[in-house]
Amino acid sequence: MEHEDQHETIHEELPEQHEDPLIRVLHRIIRAAVRVLAVLMVLVIIWGIGDVVYVLYQRLTSPPFLLLNINDIFATFGAFMAVLIAIEIFINIRLYLGTNVVPIRLVVATALMAIARKVIVLDLEKIGPDYVLGIAAVVLALGITYWLLSKNRPE
């Protein structure tokens, strides 16, 4: 009985019981589409991990052996961060499927991770000061937003 009550509260914006049969079908299609996105995101994560392993293997087995230059290290950091961001997006999708709560704090944390990845792989010689200021503004805005959400979070 508890599971049924919980099931009815999940995504009130996409209720399974709606007076219009077309809307019910459309809601089921949306839910199925989100499940497909979750499966695709897992495939992206697996592909990303494989890519990181392959690139590291290539770099470490080419002369000079077992050494990475700074560009290789930054590229590896970027690839790791991309996989971590994909994992965070999967968690967002999973929470979207399983709860009625929009995980705003997690979405902001994912955005912070994405902009952090951008900062880590940033090549300051190829971009202008306006780009750096723009990224700084986004980092500041997301940081303040995350702090406010964490500060007001009920314990």
Return the DSSP state at 62: S
28-55 mean pLDDT: 91
CA 104 to chain centre: 12
Say how far residue 45 (Cα) sits from the centre of its chain.
Answer: 11
- For residue 32, pLDDT over 60 is answered with yes
CA-nearest of 12, 34, 14, 32 to 23 is: 14
- Tell me the pTM: 0.73
How many domains does the chain fold into?
Answer: 1
Higher pLDDT, 71 or 57: 57
Give the domain range for residue 68.
2-151
Q: Does residue 8 carry a pLDDT above 50?
A: no
CA of 47: how far to CAs of 14, 37, 44, 52, 126, in Å?
Answer: 32, 15, 5, 9, 29
103, pLDDT greater than 60: yes
Q: 117, 147, 148: which is closest to 135 by C-alpha?
A: 117
